[in-house]
Amino acid sequence: MPERISHHGVDSPTAVVAVVVLFAYNGLIFGTYAAAISTLKQRLGLSPIQLAALFIVTGIAAVSAMQVSGRLADRFGARRLCLIGLLPLMAAGVGYGLAPSYGWLIATGISLGLGNGGIDVAMNALAVQVEAARLATGRRPIMSFFHGTWAVGTFAGALAIAFVGSVIGLAPDRAVTSCALTAAGLGVAVVVVAFLVTPETAPVAHVTASGQTVPLPKAAYLLGGLAIASGLAEGTASDWSGNQVQTVTGLPSTTAAWAVTALMACMVIIRLTGDRLVSAWGRRRLVQVGALCAAIGFLTASLTASFPLLIVGWSLVGLGAGVIAPQIYATAGHFGGGRGLAVVVTFGYATSLAGPALIGGLVHAIGIGPTMAVPAVLLLIGLPVARLALPDRSAPQ
């Protein structure tokens, strides 16, 4: 492998390129996997219980990797953990592209969880140091943009399978195989680029001069509470928006899918452009406005059966929820390093996995309309929490 270009630091343009490449590739693998699930279910004849077990195993692997990655990133620097995390992501692409059996798929889920969980914390820790270097020289925050490139990657992964299957006309199984193996193959180029341009990051110490361990600030757990509200909002919106629109309007599923499209498009747009709002308003105010916007969107979905209003409601959810996670992750990383990120990301990730299932139980118990108000309530509770956990506009970013 060629010698790494070592003179680029976290304040260089190439550092931004490195973070963008890492976020986008992680999103690409995850988006391809998400779009492949239904085809994998048919290929292997999986039952709902087997699918649930796959998701649980993947989630456990991811949460475990998050805890290890955060602490190792603080000790050795995030760069090494980012590069290592790319390898199981590539293996996962090969795994669900070929998957001849359920056991193979479980091993793929473990690989995906380890790669996604490990690189998620490490690349956010790297992104925090890149953003800190930019802020130190008077430049604009950039965390929201980084998260936007992850969303672009997920969209590209899902779109690739839809395009190859619907437009080119490959059978679903062949479409998944070709797209997954292509995504895995792109990982070779990503590893080379990341090796060349990813900068070294400073270790983050959590000990005093006398050698005592510094406890994690209590604000990390407040940020974790915000991550729960954010994770439930994003998970519910992604998994239930199309179903909710179809249920209350009676429209075909293909028409109801416009709600998902509007949601995802708004989320991508706000993340790619949200850093200007951070500069103008500060993280606290932006998170509060985002939570209020998403809550209004959920309440709209809860109270109306009008298709145009539902599209507006889910668009508001995308705009509002899209700004929350980047800001709470950035704040956790700035004051808590990888260790703080591991706690907050775990809260959000676990909720995004378990939340949609909880929402499903509530839909069965009280109906889909009232259930859509539940994320709105949590988001509104998050308004005073954000005031306690996030810095105001006058404080350093």
Spatial distance between the Cα atoms of 4 and 193, rounded to a whole number of angstroms: 9
In a domain, 123, yes or no: yes
Shared domain for 295 and 365, answered yes or no, is yes
Lowest-confidence segment of 132-136, 371-375, 382-386 by average pLDDT: 132-136
Shared domain for 168 and 253, answered yes or no, is no
Shared domain for 147 and 263, answered yes or no, is no
Shared domain for 237 and 108, answered yes or no, is no
Lowest-confidence segment of 16-25, 218-227, 283-292 by average pLDDT: 218-227
* Each residue's pLDDT tens digit, 315-345: 999 999 999 999 999 999 888 888 889 989 9
Backbone φ and ψ of 368, nearest 5°: -75, -30
Of 162, 197, 232, which closes a domain?
197
Spatial distance between the Cα atoms of 101 and 106, rounded to a whole number of angstroms: 9
Element (H, E) at 148: helix 143-163
Shared domain for 164 and 30, answered yes or no, is yes
Shared domain for 248 and 129, answered yes or no, is no
CATH code for the domain in which residue 113 is found? 1.20.1250.20
Shared domain for 177 and 61, answered yes or no, is yes
Spatial distance between the Cα atoms of 193 and 2, rounded to a whole number of angstroms: 10
CB 11 within 8 A of CB 137: yes
* Each residue's pLDDT tens digit, 269-324: 999 999 999 999 999 999 999 999 999 999 999 999 999 999 999 999 999 999 99
Q: How many CB atoms lie under 10 A from the CB of residue 343?
A: 21
Spatial distance between the Cα atoms of 201 and 74, rounded to a whole number of angstroms: 9
* Encoded amino acid at 60, one letter: I
What integer pLDDT is reported at residue 395 of this predicted model?
47
When divided into structural domains, the chain yields a total of 2
Shared domain for 23 and 152, answered yes or no, is yes
Res. 258: pLDDT tops 70: yes
* Each residue's pLDDT tens digit, 194-219: 999 999 888 777 665 666 666 777 88
Shared domain for 374 and 231, answered yes or no, is yes
In a domain, 2, yes or no: no
* Encoded amino acid at 139, one letter: R
CB 292 within 8 A of CB 380: yes
pTM reported for the whole predicted model: 0.88
> How is residue 210 annotated by DSSP?
T
> How is residue 391 annotated by DSSP?
-
Of 197, 228, 258, which closes a domain?
197
Shared domain for 241 and 180, answered yes or no, is no
The domain of 37 spans 13-197
